[in-house]
Structure 1
Amino acid sequence: MKINVITPAFLVVFIMNANANANANANANANANNLVFKCTTDNNKQVSLYRDGENIKYIFGKKNSKPELEIIRKKSDVQIDLEDPEGGGLSNSVEVKNGVYSYQLISNIDKFSEEHESTTSLNIMKGENVIKTLYCTPKSVYGDLINIDPTYFGSRSQK
């Protein structure tokens, strides 16, 4: 009789645990699907940008840890500057404000060089002054800032 009591209880715990893991994986996959850009900086911090409908989420902090900073803004409140990819160089930036501070990701690509070198940096600004610049390690860069707003070039040509 004791086995019959323990077995159903074990099954309930097992099923609840499986559901919790499935929900956690679904949430992680939902975030991964909205991931636009991420990189690891030269001080071993990770910066990520997510797009969720009309919202942009900026996350900064140690990898696999609770974020040090997480900012969610409407896309209309984020400064997005994307260059048309037709030219010789390409510089894109996304700036997220948080009070007097702002966090500006800048991606540059030299399309004239044979290797098409690219650099990505994060400017941490107070007002208009850059107080610190962190550089993304090249092999850590995932995604592209140009994907922050898929309608950018279409909306620009209609103005």
Structure 2
Amino acid sequence: MKKLFIAAITITSSFYTFAQQTIIFECKTTNNKIVSIKQNENTVSYQFGRNLSYPELSFSIPKNSSSTFQWAGVGREIYYDVDVPNGNTVYTAYSSIDRMSDDHQTESGITVSINNRQIAKILCDQNKKPYVNNMEGVRLPTKN
């Protein structure tokens, strides 16, 4: 009976932790993989792959190790991003809107940088689900 009780507590606390995560950014890329950045009270997690139940890449970092850039309300481009570092590699989710063009061209995706040198840019297909962009106003440390 005691083992059953401990198992029930463990499962309940796992669901509670999962339920407390909020999505910062999630999209299906143009090559049909999914990128997901979530946060809870203490951590930011990053997942990437075709099936996030079995991601190709998955890690979590302390929330204060991540950072964000928030658009200041000036300039042609409305731009937000979130950096999620993993060692010397930084995964940056970004979203931009050209507010001066007639069609308000948008772009979002992930850039991958190693030692401050961009090695990849992965675009999101904003017409495919999932697409969630909650970077505006996200409570993370601000980039210098």
Normalising by the smaller structure, the TM-score range is: 0.7 to 0.9
TM-score, scaled to structure 2: 0.74
Structure 1 equivalent of residue 135 of structure 2: 145
Cα distance between partner residues in 2 of 1:116 and 1:149: 26
Q: Following TM superposition, by how much is the alpha carbon of 1:89 offset from its aligned partner in structure 2, in angstroms?
A: 2.0
Count of residue pairs brought into register by the alignment: 129
- Between Structure 1 and Structure 2, which shows a larger proportion of helix residues? 1
TM-score (norm 1): 0.68
Equivalent of residue 71 in structure 1, options 53, 56, 59: 59
Of 67-76 and 81-90, the range deviating more from structure 2: 81-90
Structure 2 spans left out of the alignment, 5+ residues? 1-7
Higher gyration radius (CA): 1
Gaps of 5+ in 1: 1-18, 153-159
The CA distance in 1 between the partners of 2:87 and 2:47, in whole Å, is: 16
Q: Distance between the aligned counterparts of 1:94 and 1:132, measured in 2?
A: 16
Name the SS for the 1:76 alignment partner.
helix
CA shift for structure 1 position 99: 1.2
- Counterpart of 2:117 in structure 1 is 129
Higher relative contact order (CA 8 A, sep 6+): 2
**Percent of paired sites with the same residue:** 23
2: CA distance between counterparts of 1:88 and 1:129?
25
Q: 1:29 to 1:77 in 2, by over 3 A?
A: closer
